[in-house]
């Protein structure tokens, strides 16, 4: 008998920009259920972006997420007693999830500034294809490219 199909949760847009991607990012930043704190951090970082670049922060945010999103990743697969790193294409929802994770981690590793300023700086760098999050994406692609010989092991 087949398993019941999972109902996909609809992402609610944020209240200021009415963008579901921003709403998802706010939820990803949130700690211990404090959504208002996460919203303040994200909206403050968007204000800093607008102030520094004189561009629309929403367009810059989407461009940064697009630049960080990986198209390939490696997954470990055990075959005949050996583990192989098998390159796989990344699903669309996982691309966004990885981009969020990498940009937050890159912002967290910086010191001496408020989180909003660190996030804004990382978004600006990522929109120009620079910064730690973009480096993480390039490392992931390099790893997948190096293990291309094991692509025939993919499921």
pLDDT tens track for 75-109: 998 988 999 889 999 999 999 999 999 999 999 99
Query: What is the reported pLDDT for 8?
Result: 84
In the three-class reduction of DSSP (H, G, I as helix; E, B as strand; rest coil), residue 14 is classed as coil
Burial class (CB in 10 A: 0-12, 13-18, 19+), 19: middle
How far apart (Å, rounded) are the C-alpha atoms in residues 45 and 72?
29
> Helix 20-29 crosses helix 35-53 at what angle (to 10 degrees)?
120
Read off φ and ψ for residue 69, nearest 5 degrees.
-60, 125
Query: What is the reported pLDDT for 144?
Result: 92
136 pLDDT more than 80: yes
**What are the beta bridge partners of residue 85?**
76
37 pLDDT more than 80: yes
35 pLDDT more than 90: yes
Look up residue 30 and give its DSSP letter.
-
Token representation of residue 57: 């922060």
How far apart (Å, rounded) are the C-alpha atoms in residues 100 and 133?
9
How far apart (Å, rounded) are the C-alpha atoms in residues 120 and 6?
35
Query: What is the reported pLDDT for 129?
Result: 95
Query: What is the reported pLDDT for 149?
Result: 87
Residues 110-114 have a mean pLDDT of: 93
The continuous run of DSSP H or E covering 31 comes out as: none
CATH level 2 (architecture), domain 54-153 = Orthogonal Bundle (1.10)
* pTM of the shown model: 0.89
Q: What is the mean pLDDT of the chain?
A: 93
Domain coordinates in residue numbering, the chain = 54-153
């Amino acid at each position: 008998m087949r398993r019941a199909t999972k109902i996909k949760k609809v992402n609610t847009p944020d209240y200021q920009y009415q963008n579901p991607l921003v709403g998802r990012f706010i939820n990803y930043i949130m700690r211990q259920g404090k959504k208002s704190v996460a919203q303040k951090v994200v909206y403050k970082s968007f204000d800093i972006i607008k102030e520094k670049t004189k561009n629309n922060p929403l367009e810059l945010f989407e461009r940064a997420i697009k630049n960080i999103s990986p198209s390939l990743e490696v997954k470990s697969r055990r075959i005949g007693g050996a583990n192989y790193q098998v390159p796989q294409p990344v699903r669309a929802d996982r691309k966004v999830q990885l981009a969020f994770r990498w940009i937050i981690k890159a912002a967290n590793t910086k010191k001496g500034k408020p989180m909003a300023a660190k996030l804004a700086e990382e978004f600006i760098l990522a929109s120009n294809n620079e910064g730690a999050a973009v480096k993480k994406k390039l490392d992931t692609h390099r790893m997948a490219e190096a293990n291309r010989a094991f692509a025939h092991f993919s499921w």
